[in-house]
Structure 1
């Protein structure tokens, strides 16, 4: 596959996942402010920005927060920027992107570009973005052959998911109420219902952290996503190269082993450092993937995705 096409598919996966998780975070954030009137709005807004790696400086109000993360086309972390990146990536790879997938991405881009969502209530706008991303994800599975193009898209999606889940877990450490913090983390990952089914109603912080990090059946857990990335990279490599264990597989395997072989009672010990390490892992894997598969391709799309 041409490196230009492979890179475009990879960034479609990353941008769509980034837009969806940002919408989830904002939706939970709004609900939290409404349900808990004693929450300090400025501190809560700063914490959310810290999760996404954004320097907030002075206190930022909620309207400015939604503009920065939602509708500001000049902000690299906004949902509008993410959909611009996804649409530009899809445009550059039209020969492999299905008609249905292109139409769904382009329609959503026109919605956010023309400010239709800004006229909605914030929670409703986030809900629409989540639904659009879910629709697009379904079209990826249902209308595209599961060939190399699809594999690069899934690799990008899972790598972005690892990064965002690690940031959500890290955000729980900023909150004074530990139980409420982990409940919010589960909700931000749409994991609360699955967690309750798995743990039969238990809501201990250690259980929540373990679920988001280690559950092998939940598609947003870190270990699940690491395993998916390893599977995809193994499929992309010829049989001879797999036996040599390339740099990408080595980095992914080390990150997974660091999580899986840690004693459960130590799951929360040094969790902030380990989440930073996971984010560094995502950067390292991204660079290794770009070097191995995208060498010589253009930088246009990635410029909007810098964080």
Structure 2
């Protein structure tokens, strides 16, 4: 597979997942601000923007939810926002048009067209619900219409790395807000994890158990450990030399070390330093993404014309 095609597939997975998870995070925070009249809107918006790597300027200007939505939901240029990520996913699908299925292309193209036409005309909750629905449709088409070859592996690798990173951001946001935040039950519902959590813990719901479920559960697809494990499986399938002389893939090493630190660390220590642990996960995902880019999507150097080559 050409490296440019592989890179486009990788970023399709990442951008669609980014839009989905950003919609989930914003939905929780908009609900909090709407239901709690005593919430510090400026502080809450600034905190979330910082967690999402889009910090607001420290110039004394108050940051309202409208400003937060402009940056994280409706910005069509920056791929860190929902609209920008969906537009970027469609552009990457165009570059890989001969590789992906017609259904997937039509789904991403239609999604982008709706984003350009009327994304600001919907209420925030309806917009976020629509984004989650489109992301679920993309995932369904990927699962049902893609052969489990390199095309599948690069898309799922991108999706898994992004999911681990964004779940870590979601948990960090709740950990920073504490009792003034939406609560772990709301967080579980935003991830579609509430019923699975109740089955796993048989009704013994608590904040520590909820956090542990989103971080450590090996069976729930949106947990950090599950996402990291799936990314590792994709990297092993892509690496034909894996296993001959230990781990030689830098991306695999970064993800495996992050997963092992979570799985085999002491739960009490993990819960006591949750923001720090989630920061390490985000750093590992960033390092793994850079390692994947370096190995599978090498940038071509500029051609240098010398006399002997004329």
**Same fold by TM-score greater than 0.5:** yes
Distance in 1, Cα, partners of 2:223 & 2:40:
29
Structure 1: gaps spanning 5 or more residues: 299-307
Residue matched to 1:267: 270
SS at 2:83's partner residue? helix
Residue matched to 1:21: 21
Structure 2: gaps spanning 5 or more residues: 302-310
Matches within 5 A, 1:1-307: 1-57=1-57, 58-114=61-117, 116-177=118-179, 180-238=182-240, 240-244=241-245, 245-246=247-248, 247-296=250-299
Distance in 1, Cα, partners of 2:159 & 2:294:
18
Q: Would the alpha carbon gap of residues 297 and 98 (structure 1) be closer, same or farther in structure 2, given more than 3 Å must change?
A: farther
Distance in 2, Cα, partners of 1:59 & 1:161:
31
Deviation at 1:155, TM superposition (A): 0.2
Q: Would the aligned equivalents of 2:184 and 2:207 in 1 still touch at CA under 8 Å?
A: yes
How many matched pairs? 296
Q: Would the aligned equivalents of 1:213 and 1:222 in 2 still touch at CA under 8 Å?
A: yes
Distance in 2, Cα, partners of 1:297 & 1:59:
45
Deviation at 1:294, TM superposition (A): 0.7
Distance in 2, Cα, partners of 1:4 & 1:133:
23
SS at 2:148's partner residue? coil
Q: Would the alpha carbon gap of residues 111 and 297 (structure 1) be closer, same or farther in structure 2, given more than 3 Å must change?
A: farther
Question: TM-score scaled to structure 2, two decimals?
Answer: 0.90
Q: Would the alpha carbon gap of residues 47 and 188 (structure 1) be closer, same or farther in structure 2, given more than 3 Å must change?
A: farther
Deviation at 1:253, TM superposition (A): 1.5
Deviation at 1:295, TM superposition (A): 1.0
Distance in 1, Cα, partners of 2:42 & 2:73:
18
User: Once superposed, which parts of structure 1, at least 4 consecutive aligned residues long, lie more than 4 Å away?
Assistant: none
SS at 2:147's partner residue? coil
SS at 2:130's partner residue? helix
Q: Would the aligned equivalents of 1:178 and 1:205 in 2 still touch at CA under 8 Å?
A: no
| Greater RCO, CA 8 A, separation 6+ | 1
Residue matched to 2:304: none
Q: Would the aligned equivalents of 1:28 and 1:187 in 2 still touch at CA under 8 Å?
A: no
SS at 1:285's partner residue? helix
SS at 1:267's partner residue? helix
Q: Would the aligned equivalents of 1:24 and 1:189 in 2 still touch at CA under 8 Å?
A: yes
Greater radius of gyration (CA)? 2
Distance in 2, Cα, partners of 1:53 & 1:86:
20
Q: Would the aligned equivalents of 1:18 and 1:82 in 2 still touch at CA under 8 Å?
A: yes
Deviation at 1:61, TM superposition (A): 1.0
Query: 1:224-247 deviations in whole A, cap 9, x for unaligned?
Result: 011101111111111x33333122
Question: TM-score scaled to structure 1, two decimals?
Answer: 0.91
